[in-house]
């Protein structure tokens, strides 16, 4: 399973970011969001959320790069998630991700990676233009 982003239709409201952060830190705090809208204004009108592709084949580059073995498979969802307890916030996963889709906010104790909110992603539910879907 992963979140698929439509090529067009994003209008940059960043609801996905804000609601995602609530899942991770119980605050409105987009710095702790696993999804980020990428803007190219004013050169181009393109706006598009960037989120973890849940890379295949296994293991994904982030998990491979993690020295603490903190990016582990969630057998129920079939995707790799960050185990906050063992994550040392070293940033190796951020460097390894080919899509810039895993995040380490300044001062954070764990890296932020899309875990599909346990199967019902909030961003998909909240996107006002159905740009995001779960596949």
Partner 1 sequence: MKVGGFIGRILRVNLTTGDVKTEPINWEWARKFFGGKGLAAKYLYEELSAGTDPLSPENMMIFMTGPLTGTVSPCSGKHVVVSKSPASCTFLDCYAGGYWGAELKYAGFDGVIIRGRASKPVYLWIHDGEAEIRDASHLWGKDTHETEKALKEELGKDVKVCSIGPAGENLVKFACITNDLFRQAARGGIGAVMGSKNLKAIAVEGHGGVWVPDIEKFVDVCKSVIDEDVLGREDDHGWAITDGTPIIVGLSQGTALFPTRNFQTGVFEEAEKIGSDAVKAVTVARKACFNCPLACGNITLIKEGRFAGTLVEGPEYETLALTGSNCGIGDLGAIAKFNLLCDRLGIDTISAGNVVAFAMELYERGILTKEDTGGLDLRFGNVDAYIQMPELIAYKRGIGGLLAEGVRTAAERIGKGAEKYALHVKGVEYPGYDPRGSYGMALAYATADRGCCHLRAWIVADEAFGDMPPYTFDGKPERVIFLENRNSVKWSLIICDFYLVDYPVMSKLVSACTGWDVSPEELKIAGERIWNLTRLFNVREGFSRKDDTVPPRITTEELPDGVAKGQKIKLEEFEAALSRYYQLRGWDENGIPTEEKLKELGLK
Which residue, 129 or 133, is less far from partner 1 as judged by CB? 129
Q: Output the six-digit token pair for 72.
A: 């582990």
Query: Which among 10-18, 56-64, 69-77, 92-100 is the span making contact with partner 1, rule CB under 8 A?
Result: 10-18
Q: Number of residues interacting with partner 1: please give it, by CB under 8 A.
A: 29
Binding mask 57-76 for partner 1 (x = CB under 8 A): --------------------
CA distance 113 to 102: 5
Please report, for residues 37, 44, 53, 58, 85, the alpha-carbon distance to residue 50 in angstroms, rounded to integers and kept in the order given: 6, 17, 9, 21, 26
Beta strands in 67-122 (DSSP E): 71-74, 79-82
**Which residues bind to partner 1, rule: CB under 8 A?**
8, 11-15, 18-19, 21-22, 25-32, 41-42, 45-47, 105-107, 126, 128-129
């Amino acid at each position: 399973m992963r979140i698929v982003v439509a090529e067009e239709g994003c209008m940059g409201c960043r609801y996905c970011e804000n609601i995602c952060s609530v899942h991770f830190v119980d605050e409105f705090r987009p710095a702790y969001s696993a999804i980020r809208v990428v803007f190219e204004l004013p050169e181009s009108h393109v706006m598009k959320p960037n989120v973890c592709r849940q890379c295949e084949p296994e293991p994904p580059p982030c998990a491979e790069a993690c020295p603490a073995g903190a990016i582990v498979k969630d057998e129920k969802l079939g995707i790799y998630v960050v185990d906050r307890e063992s994550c040392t916030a070293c940033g190796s996963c951020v460097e390894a991700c080919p899509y810039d889709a895993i995040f380490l906010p300044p001062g954070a104790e764990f890296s932020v990676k899309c875990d599909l909110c346990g199967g019902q992603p909030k961003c998909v539910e909240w996107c006002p233009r159905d740009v995001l879907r779960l596949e």
